[in-house]
Chains A and B, each alone.
Chain A
């Protein structure tokens, strides 16, 4: 990529920044496009960012391979399309093999390609979004570069762009003067600030340290380890869990309990709760939305073969539980199965409301 801004404080802020850049770019050419295309497997933040950026979302379906349906994409492309937002690998953990064709088709109608960096750890040191044809890339430093993921951050979601979008970046950005000294400059047609000018500087410093400590070879091993662990685990689960897209995956894959639910009532939620009993962090469940009873499993590169094997053993054992065991889990944690439906239906947003309920119960 040509240039970047380090200001956006999170992935979603990076998405909005990217869409504002898209808008500024088209406006500078006297064009006012209205639509942004998003796959049906996308993260929920994508359509939310599109709406906040003032665009309409157009959904493109996935094909039987779990990838963007090229014919359906072509049918949606016209000169009212501002761009497409893609995650590659996508949320099924699959690499969009047709990315070069997708990029060519979108560019042909004057649209831009936005890369959602949520799954960037799968391709570190292997391939680059810029080479795939992307114009705007956000990176979640808390997902890929060791900045803390939980606890409310602070995170960082830098955005990198191709040369034609550089004049629109948020500012000020550091610029080198002719005498070799540095100064802060606003890019010529900047969309303005999207955060404090220095971004979340300590989060950025942490990510930089992680990159330097690993080096290029180390970062490539991060991707290779993540991809190997996820593929190994998928092979172990074949025959026990449904694998709706059973093909070589990247850093994660999606399994399903559809057959197990029919056979003995085991739901994806139950598997997650049972894993807590077995001492594992539960995977994302019920996402992506295009897979029924979805378990999105990302073992990551940091886990040893022994740990991944233990996770596979636990998942296989859970699938063979007596009927009803899963629904009662977790039984060994300080807090048991939480009644999510009741919590959502009778939301108690203040401590006073909780105290009033306690009083009426006593």
Chain B
């Protein structure tokens, strides 16, 4: 299972990458594998405010519909509209072209509260 060292993770199987404009968010390799073939993605509205732990997006696979929870509180910036026509990118490249959106956090530094790669590996192996 691919768990890149330079990302942060949540126990709900999302990853976050700190960038200049905010946190880029996606689902992990483990998550896409467990979900199976993804057929639909409902993205949040740019400009919407989300609170940490709230469901703010949805992914639907041939097995089930799953909520995506906001890893931090903040405002939705850029969203990956490519996923609307090509949801399979979530399966093919979860850490790259399959990114979901950018969240601009309300407070600086919240990413430290998320799991590091080692912590996330322990979670999915348990």
Contact = CB atoms under 8 A, between A and B. Distances in A.
Interface of A: 286, 289, 292, 340-341, 344-345
B37 A340 contact: yes
Nearest to A294: B63
Interface string B25-51: 000000000101111100000000000
Given A286-B64, A345-B40, A345-B87, 14 more contacts: A286-B63, A289-B64, A292-B34, A340-B37, A341-B36, A341-B37, A341-B38, A341-B39, A341-B62, A344-B37, A344-B40, A344-B60, A344-B62, A345-B88
A143 B85 CA distance: 39
8 nearest A-B pairs in the assembled complex, by CB-CB distance? A341-B37, A344-B39, A340-B62, A286-B63, A345-B39, A341-B62, A341-B39, A289-B64
Contacts of A345: 39-40, 87-88
B58 to A, nearest CB: 14
Contacts of A341: 36-39, 61-62, 88
A328 to B, nearest CB: 17
B20 to A, nearest CB: 33
A237 to B, nearest CB: 22
Contacts of A340: 37, 62
Contacts of B62: 340-341, 344
Nearest to B62: A340
Contacts of B88: 341, 345
A341 B34 CA distance: 15
A171 B88 CA distance: 50
A140 B122 CA distance: 44
A341 B36 CA distance: 9
Contacts of A286: 63-64
A344 B34 CA distance: 18
22 contacts: A286-B63, A286-B64, A289-B64, A292-B34, A340-B37, A340-B62, A341-B36, A341-B37, A341-B38, A341-B39, A341-B61, A341-B62, A341-B88, A344-B37, A344-B39, A344-B40, A344-B60, A344-B62, A345-B39, A345-B40, A345-B87, A345-B88
Nearest to B37: A341
Contacts of B60: 344
B89 to A, nearest CB: 11
Nearest to B63: A286
Interface string B59-76: 011111000000000000
Contacts of B37: 340-341, 344
A258 to B, nearest CB: 11
A344 B35 CA distance: 15
A33 B64 CA distance: 30
Contacts of B63: 286
Contacts of B64: 286, 289
